[in-house]
Structure 1
């Protein structure tokens, strides 16, 4: 696989960019300041994993359904094969939740999420099979774009664009998304380096490394005995709960490594979390960064998260699903996919009660419709639309303005 990539005549991301040793190294390892940053290694940074998990799980939990709009009325499109696949199980291995969660993780980690639409000879949709972004490549053969990928048995296969759901992160050429992790390899590499430094520091007992010196000249035999003593003491120190090391009086220890406080280790970790949250457009409190968080307006913060972070991804998914799953005739017949954001926008019991109160008394929701929103069974006699006395009086005055005189 690597040899094939090395001898390709084009870039791994942009066919118009010449492949060089430098950009190949950047593609494989990123620019993470000495730490090899890849989409896989980027997941190892706590802040990156938290952002990907929150976004992927938020999108995956949205109810997905096929709807149909005919003559201004919206009904459930359960007669379409895509309804079961999107709402329940797209394939034999995944539920709708796990498929969307996995695909969203691919998009946020690798920049592209691929799912193949399997159809019968009559064109009926049978299943939606996900494909790994590391094994899928958009290429041009004979003047036509195709997706080169592998099936479940590892055999190569070509998929036409009409049969491939391709959901992209922000990209440069309009055909491929760019991995947020690779795009910001320096910032993520800094976080990984700080995380690795912290592990090494505490693995060493929470003490900086240094150099041993003698206070006076010693013979070769004495020096060998000191080295042997130090090696045994270091092993005992590592395996012991007591982290105090006693050394002979004629030895002196001088620290070489900068103390974490001097290197602002804690501040670096906090800055890394803040930068990673900015990369994924994630509110800091959503990944448990609560240094500046206040909970006086938690409902408003949740709405802002849905509006500015989740909503763009919902639009991205819906538009790709609608243009690939349905034929032109089916779209003309009113079929479309809807990811319901109502669950994420659900307010507190007090806020919902106030909302329903105004909806019922203003006459644009019935009490049974409210019960449906709250997952309650309808009750006879509650389908009648109500209207408050004040609202009714205002309507009558508008209809008979002479009463105002």
Structure 2
């Protein structure tokens, strides 16, 4: 027998590092529109989801290489991939035992956008070099800067208790914008009012549709219609509504009937304008071009290459630099930082490749015949082709202008 006389007891157990508990306890998380902007509220906004997905996916899919600068026998600087270093495999293949490089980078990028910060525990090898980076639970890490400017991190264990981690043990990747120089800004917090307004507009439109007040209009007359006439008119209108070929057509009215349309569409109620405004605001917060957010009034056309260049230059480039310098700060040993030989490089060129025709024209100009600045093997590597071997006058060398090209007579210039 169930005792129903006592108080109802119902609760959900949450760990102290749970992001849900953080949202529950967060002060001022309710926007001016009255909507509590949670993580799911933001992700359910199609514009925010599209923008975050674009940035995180682009960062995740781009190759990230560990490079090394050396001085060649001829005294010139030579750069090559540092494939013998464990960090090279970590960045390119497997950062930890359960994530691929794409999964790791895209996940950390998402956290940097939503929370402003992403933290990972650096697992060193026997030489003290970073061998793995394991993401730490959201809300479990807090950076601390002592009075003598020594950086440490306070970490709350999932099983309870706190410990202090040295800066060499933590990989910290954050949003470029910060208020204290230690933690990045949360995009969800900064765009709270815009996200709340957008959610409230969607909710209002949904309630209007659910309430069934989307009638197209009314028919009115000064005469009195009988029940049979009213039913006949209703049946006639319903038949026309069921026939898609006559959708939107007007009726020929009798007995002095007048049509009075209702203004109840989402566009007439200015929901459409409000949604467009919130889309533009979110695009500004995320630095994502409007066409990439699927704005229907924006033309793609032949400007797709310029659109990609805009996205890389004004949105992704700052994230590339943030990733590169965060890895170098957290994952390089002090000796490697002092030597200044190793560096991290995102291959953003993968996003800037145009059509085959444009690539052909670009590499044709790079190979010469006059003032060439790329070798045959450099061009082949851009297409993932194996290099050809040769001496200084072979395929490894930058093509030089031929004697025939230099001595060829130039056509006279027509000044007319």
Q: TM-score range by the shorter chain?
A: 0.7 to 0.9
Task: Pick one of 328, 331, 337 that aligns with 2:337.
Answer: 331
Q: Distance in 2 between matches of 1:335 and 1:75?
A: 10
Q: Deviations over 1:30-57 (max 9, x none)?
A: 4252000133421221111111110111
Q: Distance in 2 between matches of 1:316 and 1:387?
A: 39
Question: Which position in structure 1 is the counterpart of 2:269?
Answer: 263
Which ranges of structure 1 fall in alignment gaps of 5 or more residues?
A: 6-11, 13-22, 209-240, 242-256, 395-405
Question: Which position in structure 2 is the counterpart of 1:147?
Answer: 153
Correspondence list, 1:291-330, <5 A: 291-330=297-336
- Does residue 1:185 correspond to 2:192, yes or no? yes
SS of the aligned residue for 2:27 comes to: helix
Correspondence list, 1:230-379, <5 A: 260-333=266-339, 334-361=341-368, 362-379=371-388
**Which structure carries more helix by proportion?**
1
Say whether the 8 Å CA contact 2:37–2:195 is kept in structure 1. yes
Which ranges of structure 2 fall in alignment gaps of 5 or more residues?
A: 1-12, 72-76, 216-241, 243-262, 408-416
Task: Pick one of 175, 179, 191 that aligns with 1:172.
Answer: 179
Task: Pick one of 87, 90, 95 that aligns with 1:90.
Answer: 95
What is the CA distance between 1:127 and its match in structure 2? 0.9
Comparing 130-139 with 334-343, which one deviates more in the overlay?
130-139
What is the CA distance between 1:386 and its match in structure 2? 2.7
Q: Deviations over 1:188-224 (max 9, x none)?
A: 111111222333333444638xxxxxxxxxxxxxxxx
Correspondence list, 1:91-130, <5 A: 91-120=96-125, 122-130=127-135
Say whether the 8 Å CA contact 2:129–2:332 is kept in structure 1. no
Q: Distance in 1 between matches of 2:289 and 2:309?
A: 11
SS of the aligned residue for 1:133 comes to: coil
Give the direction of change, closer, same or farther, for the CA distance of 1:385–1:172 in structure 2 (3 Å limit): closer
Give the direction of change, closer, same or farther, for the CA distance of 1:294–1:120 in structure 2 (3 Å limit): closer
Give the direction of change, closer, same or farther, for the CA distance of 1:314–1:52 in structure 2 (3 Å limit): same
Q: Distance in 1 between matches of 2:404 and 2:307?
A: 33
Say whether the 8 Å CA contact 2:195–2:278 is kept in structure 1. yes
Give the direction of change, closer, same or farther, for the CA distance of 1:53–1:358 in structure 2 (3 Å limit): same
Q: Distance in 1 between matches of 2:189 and 2:403?
A: 60
Q: Distance in 2 between matches of 1:391 and 1:272?
A: 62
Q: Deviations over 1:281-326 (max 9, x none)?
A: 1101111113133423211121111111110110111111111111
Comparing 59-68 with 152-161, which one deviates more in the overlay?
152-161
Q: Distance in 1 between matches of 2:41 and 2:399?
A: 59
Say whether the 8 Å CA contact 1:366–1:382 is kept in structure 2. yes
Say whether the 8 Å CA contact 2:172–2:326 is kept in structure 1. yes
Say whether the 8 Å CA contact 2:129–2:333 is kept in structure 1. no
Q: Distance in 2 between matches of 1:196 and 1:292?
A: 26
Give the direction of change, closer, same or farther, for the CA distance of 1:390–1:106 in structure 2 (3 Å limit): farther
Q: TM-score, normalised by structure 1?
A: 0.73
Give the direction of change, closer, same or farther, for the CA distance of 1:295–1:154 in structure 2 (3 Å limit): farther
Question: Which position in structure 2 is the counterpart of 1:215?
Answer: none
Q: TM-score, normalised by structure 2?
A: 0.71
CA RMSD in angstroms comes to: 3.2
Q: Distance in 1 between matches of 2:142 and 2:92?
A: 28
Task: Pick one of 24, 27, 31 that aligns with 1:25.
Answer: 27
Give the direction of change, closer, same or farther, for the CA distance of 1:207–1:132 in structure 2 (3 Å limit): farther
Say whether the 8 Å CA contact 1:38–1:182 is kept in structure 2. no
Q: Distance in 1 between matches of 2:212 and 2:137?
A: 41
Q: Distance in 2 between matches of 1:278 and 1:184?
A: 10
How many residue pairs match? The answer is 331
Say whether the 8 Å CA contact 1:360–1:385 is kept in structure 2. yes
Say whether the 8 Å CA contact 2:115–2:185 is kept in structure 1. yes
Q: Distance in 1 between matches of 2:16 and 2:365?
A: 65
Question: Which position in structure 2 is the counterpart of 1:253?
Answer: none
Give the direction of change, closer, same or farther, for the CA distance of 1:174–1:339 in structure 2 (3 Å limit): same
What is the CA distance between 1:280 and its match in structure 2? 0.5
SS of the aligned residue for 2:139 comes to: helix
